[in-house]
Amino acid sequence: MDYVKLINCMRCGMCLPSCPTYKETFLETASPRGRVALVRKVQEGELDQSERLLEYLSLCLDCQACASACPCGVNAGELVAEFTCERKESLGLGFMEELVLRRLVPHPDRLEGSMTPLRAYQKTGLQKLVRKLGVLKMFPKKLERMEGLLPELPARPLRQEIMEVTPAAGTERGTVGFFLGCVMSLIFSEASRATINLLSSLGYRVITPRSQVCCGAPNMLGGDLEGLKEAARTNIDIFAGYDLDFIVTDCGGCGAELKKYGHHLPGDPAAEAFGAKVRDIAQVLALHSGDLAPRLQPVDLKVTYHDPCHIAHCQGIRREPRELLRLVPGLTYAELAEADSCCGSAGTYNIARPGMSDRILHRKLANIAASGAEVLVTGNPGCLLQLRKGLADHLPHVRIMHLTELLARSAGLA
Amino acid sequence: MQQSFINELRNIVGEQYTLADRESLAVYGYDSTPELESLPGAVVLPGSGEEVARIMALCHGAGVSVTPRGSGTNLSGGSLSVNSGVVVQTSRLNRIVEIDEENLTATVEPGVITSALHREVESRGLFYPPDPGSMNISTMGGNVAENSGGLRGLKYGVTADYVMGLETVLADGTVLRSGGKVVKDVAGYSLNPLLVSSEGTLGFFTGITVKLIPRPRSKVTMLAHFPALQDAALAVSAIIAAKVIPATLEILDRVTIRCVEEYAHVGLPLDVDAVLLIEVDGHPAVTAEEALAVEEICKRYRSSFFQTAATADEALKLATARRTALSALARLKPTTILEDATVPRSCIAPMLQVIQAAAAKHNVTIGTFGHAGDGNLHPTCLTDERDQDEIKRAHAAFEEIFDAAIAMGGTITGEHGVGIAKKKYLPRLVGESGIRVMRGIKNAFDPKGILNPGKVF
């Protein structure tokens, strides 16, 4: 951990109003400034890595809203994540981490295979029965939460269905690589199909290498830096095999991680080059808004947009999604209050810290209700899972869509 | 701190809002003041004024000190407990109690965030002008305790000019009500001006009533570059002499301009000595006329570039240089010492020269920006706390700057407060009699000395 990054914090407090957990608790230990101070005091030997200290740090969502707010470029969320990752790494991977991060996540076939029982569980009607009987109440709370978050799964993951090369519709303007996020492919495959269709309709040949692996973000979370680097090297090699204008993803979390490959593999020019080519889908579509606009048919809906942390704070993308939504004729756009404040999903946070996650979710839901929107648009699968469930439970009249689903529908591509 | 005492605090505010673990105390040992740290014995977050009174009575009985804290953005160490006492954080007392549109007042609890009050009153066509740089997180209680200023001070004054009524818990836990919603009130001593800027040493505010004014209907934002510092200063004086009082009249010096340009690329030339950001507001007819006068004056004083924003977006762009000044400076080095020496506005040019000379003499980097219109400058030293020699030189430079400010008829602090950081300079400014009178007042309010000890003097 770089000590200078810690002492760069001048404790001005500008991060406090941006931090979802500070807004809920008003506690300095639950603020970015406080977290930087805690990590710094550990580095300086003034505090031990006590259980309480780790508990305080674990309340951080790593949403990085604090980084957007910081006047001197400190990223408290990232510092806490690095500290936690280094600490976990020094302890070694546990049995479950080893199993999931090394034997499951890096192998798309196995990961997809692991979903088969879940699909069967939904298809056979067992899910309905289980939910009706409340069987899950007998199992640990976490399992019940995980089960509740799961929407209806597509018949097959997109990775297995999509052609490796989708030709450009009409005149070809270039070639892009498509990075399939695990959750997008497994759960929101319709949205990713819409993404590919939009790219193709705008004249891009879309290459979706079937051998690509998970971006490595779960490894970072689990303290498996080596696994993350391995994933990075694999993906860099695979995409280096094509001559690409961009590497596009419609998963905010993957995009943020892929753009950091150069940071994870310092001194590796291929990693730098890879990172520099990565674009969120909204960035690419916004480049061609002039071509896109005439294809869009009226969508008579009131729509609002939730900024995923991994898109707004980690990648600095805020303007493009809004511009794209405003292109759609008939669509009424209503800005969401605190639009770039986390929804409480935050990777596995909604499972690990359900209490705080729910408080943050409810704040978000209240803002969505106040916007009067009928459709909530966003761009990250974690947010889609969390908010889909939140809306279904509390605001059932509001639908949720990925940005590309709405645009593809308007363009007649869905 | 004794467990039995902590338990008594817990009985008042509840388990959840009483903090005494090592980790919590460690993060309440600082505020925004560089180099200062001092751990409290306990931290509490009361949920009502009544709980504040009970905490105060308990501490008074036990002889334990009480230090009020809002969001901990104090720049003079004012929210630190110097003797392991109790820090009382006001964040939960965050209700806007009332906006009285007939009497044009707002009544708030001390933990209300300044910009939250701005939003609320502006949505009703009203205006609460004080806008300290930290307004998105600073609390109204802290603003009153420090008499916070901001960018609009020149035309609209500072927090003190808006405080009409206070509910204050005194050292022994009893409650003092001073002022109210009346514009005229000469019954007895005026206690509000005494309590405003008392930095938590006279009482703990639990209710604050401030004056509101109608929201200005229009605003014109302008930016002027000056190759010579002297010309910028002359333009400032000439604008005021022309009986134009801008809402904002801010200056950036050469060091700040370079940092801003390198960081934000806003198109500032690197060969100018000063940039002025000027905003006039009010009735559209008046602002149009005033803007023309400002333009004429800036050009007369050899401004090399002058721009008037045509749209709100353009206005934001012009203001970017000033808004990013602190960020741009703070990124250069780990430690940023932000001061607020203030002089009569006619002394802005000599004061800027003093600052530059002090920086050169002591070989430190100081960028200066600030409120040229009201003489309140922010010389900002960029240093590294690990370099003790440089820190020493920085303090030596500031000592010269403060002495010069006093000599010019100015003050050691325009808006950050004395706190711990400027204690040694206060006697130089107010003299022995000033300190004696202040001590007398302190003793009248707090004979046991439990309210934020170690601050001011």
Domains delineated in chain A = 3-91 (1.10.1060.10), 95-149 (no CATH), 158-285 (3.40.50), 289-410 (3.40.50)
Are the beta carbons of B23 and A10 separated by less than 8 Å? no
Q: What angle do CA B346, B351, B357 make, to 5 degrees?
A: 155
The tens digit of pLDDT for each residue in A165-210 reads 999 998 999 999 999 989 999 999 999 999 999 999 999 999 999 9
Backbone angles phi, psi at B91, to 5 degrees: -55, -30
pLDDT tens figures, A209-238: 999 999 999 988 888 889 999 999 999 999
* Residue B435 tokens, joined: 């300190």
Sign of the dihedral through C-alpha B109, B115, B116, B121: positive
Average pLDDT for chain A: 92
Task: Please report residues of B whose CB lies closer than 8 A to that of A10.
Answer: 32, 34, 330, 334-336
Which candidate, B277, B282, B259, places its Cα nearest to that of B382? Answer: B259
- Say if residue A137's pLDDT is above 70: no
Best of A2, A7, A10 to disrupt the B interface by mutation (most B CBs within 10 Å)? A10
Q: Which of A14, A34, A72 sits opposite B137 (nearest CB)?
A: A14
Q: Do A38 and B336 touch (CB under 8 A)?
A: no
A56:B34 CB<8 A: no
Domains of chain B: 3-89 (3.30.43.10), 96-214 (3.30.465.10), 218-327 (3.30.70.3450)
Q: Quick one: pLDDT at residue A135?
A: 63
pLDDT at residue A139, rounded to an integer = 64
- Which of A5, A9, A12, A41 has the highest number of chain B CBs within 10 A, making it the mutation to test binding with B? A12
* Residue tagged 């000595």 (tokens): B273
* AA identity, residue A135: V
Mean pLDDT to the nearest integer, A122-129: 72
pLDDT attached to residue A133: 67
CA of B13: how far to CAs of A29, A401, B45, B47, B171, in Å?
Answer: 18, 44, 7, 7, 18
Report for A3-17, A285-299, B317-331, B336-350: range of highest mean pLDDT: A285-299
CA distance A370 to chain B (A): 16
Name the pLDDT band for A105 (thresholds 50, 70, 90): confident
Two structure tokens written together for B441: 């007042």
Instruction: List the pLDDT tens digit at each of the 457 positions of chain B.
Output: 899 999 999 999 999 999 999 999 999 999 999 999 999 999 999 999 999 999 999 999 999 999 999 999 999 999 999 999 999 999 999 999 999 999 999 999 999 999 999 999 999 999 999 999 899 999 999 999 999 998 899 999 999 999 999 999 999 999 999 999 999 999 999 999 999 999 999 999 999 999 999 999 999 999 999 999 889 999 998 999 999 999 999 999 999 998 888 887 888 888 899 999 999 999 999 999 999 999 999 999 999 999 999 888 888 888 877 878 888 888 889 999 999 999 998 898 899 999 999 999 999 999 999 999 899 999 999 999 999 999 999 999 999 999 999 999 999 999 999 999 999 999 999 999 999 999 999 999 999 999 999 999 9
Distance CA B323, CA A261 (A): 33
Residue of B nearest to A17 (CA): B137
Eight-state DSSP code of residue B374: G
Contacting residues of B for A27, CB less than 8 Å apart: 19, 24, 45
pLDDT score, position A119: 75
Rounded to a whole number, what is the distance in Å from the CA of B210 to chain A's nearest CA? 23
Is B312 exposed, middle or buried (CB count within 10 Å of its CB: 0-12, 13-18, 19+)?
exposed
Percent of chain A with pLDDT over 90: 75
Q: What pLDDT, on the 0 to 100 scale, is given for residue B435?
A: 97
Q: Is the pLDDT of residue A146 over 80?
A: no
Residue of A276 and A124 predicted with greater confidence? A276
Is A319 a residue whose pLDDT tops 70?
Answer: yes
Q: Which of A11, A21, A42, A47 to mutate to test the interface with B (most CBs of B within 10 A)?
A: A11
CA distance B197 to chain A (A): 20
Residue in chain B nearest A6 by alpha carbon: B334
- Per DSSP, the three-state class of A88 is helix
The whole-number pLDDT of residue A136 equals 64
Interchain CB distance below 8 Å, B27 and A38: yes
- Classified as helix, coil or strand, B306 is strand
Q: Among all residues of chain A, which has the CA nearest to that of B30? A: A11
Cβ-based interface (< 8 Å): residues of B facing A: 19, 21-24, 26-28, 30-32, 34, 45, 71-73, 89, 91-92, 113, 134, 136-137, 326-327, 330-331, 334-336, 385-386
Read off the pLDDT band of A96 (50, 70, 90): confident
Residue B55 is given by DSSP the state H
pLDDT of amino acid A71: 85
Distance from the B434 Cα atom to the nearest Cα atom in chain A, whole angstroms = 31
Task: Give the pLDDT mean for A358-373.
Answer: 97
Q: Looking at CA atoms only, how far is residue B32 from chain A in angstroms?
A: 5
Say yes or no to pLDDT of A140 above 80: no
pLDDT of residue B428: 96
CA distance B297 to chain A (A): 34
What whole-number distance in Å separates Cα of residue B354 and Cα of residue B248?
24
Identify all chain A residues contacting B34, using CB atoms and an 8 Å cutoff.
Answer: 10-11
Find the mean pLDDT for residues A63-89. Answer: 91
Task: Give the burial class of B332: count Cβ atoms within 10 A of its Cβ; 0-12 exposed, 13-18 middle, 19 or more buried.
Answer: middle
Mutation target among B19, B27, B383 for the A interface, most CBs of A within 10 A = B27
SS3 sequence, B132-193?
CCCCCCCEHHHHHHHCCCCCCHHHHCCHHHCEEEEEEECCCCCEEEEECCCCCCCCCCCCHH
Residue-level pLDDT at A52: 97
Which residues of A are less than 8 Å from B28 in CB distance? Answer: 28
Q: How far is it, in rounded angstroms, from Cα B439 to Cα B421?
A: 18
Task: Write b or e for each residue in A365-404: b if 16 or more Cβ atoms lie within 10 A of its Cβ, otherwise e.
Answer: bebbeebebebbbbbbbbbbbbbbbbbeeebeebbbbbbb
Beta carbons within 8 Å of B69's beta carbon, 6+ residues apart: B28, B31, B79, B87, B88, B89, B90, B142
B26 contacts in A (CB within 8 Å)? 37-38, 41, 46-47
pLDDT at A220: 85
Give the pLDDT mean for A63-82.
93
**A65 contacts on B by Cβ (under 8 Å):** none
Q: Over 80: is that where the pLDDT of A138 sits?
A: no
Residue A110 has a pLDDT of 82
pLDDT for A129:
67
Q: In the prediction, which pLDDT does B450 show?
A: 98
| Cβ separation B335–A41 shorter than 8 A | no
Q: If you count residue pairs, one on A and one on B, with CB atoms under 8 Å apart, how many are there? A: 82
Q: Which residues does chain A have within 8 Å of residue B335's beta carbon, measured at their own beta carbons?
A: 7, 10
Distance (Å, rounded) from C-alpha B224 to C-alpha B299?
A: 9
Contacts of B74 in chain A (CB under 8 A): none
The complex scores an ipTM of 0.94
pLDDT band at A379 (very low <50, low <70, confident <90, very high): very high
What does each C-alpha distance from B312 to A207, B218, B316 come to in angstroms? 44, 11, 6
What's the gap in Å between the CA of B82 and the closest CA on chain A?
Answer: 18
Which residues in chain A have Cβ-Cβ distances shorter than 8 Å to B386? 7
Contact yes or no for A28 and B136 at CB 8 A = no
Rounded distance between C-alpha atoms, residue B208 and residue B105, angstroms:
10
Amino acid at A5: K
DSSP letter, residue B342: B
* pLDDT for the residue numbered A221: 83
Most A-contacting residue of B88, B89, B137, B256 (CB-CB within 10 A), to test interface: B137
Distance from the Cα of B73 to chain A's closest Cα (Å) equals: 6
Rounded-to-integer distance, Cα B98 and Cα B165, Å: 13
Interface touch A13/B73, C-beta < 8 Å: yes
Q: Looking at residue A351, what is its pLDDT?
A: 87
User: Which residue of chain A comes nearest to B383, CA vs CA?
Assistant: A8
Residues of A with CB under 8 A from a CB of B: 4, 7-8, 10-14, 16-17, 26-29, 31, 33-34, 37-38, 41, 46-47, 50, 52-53, 56, 71-73
Residue A347: its pLDDT value, please? 85
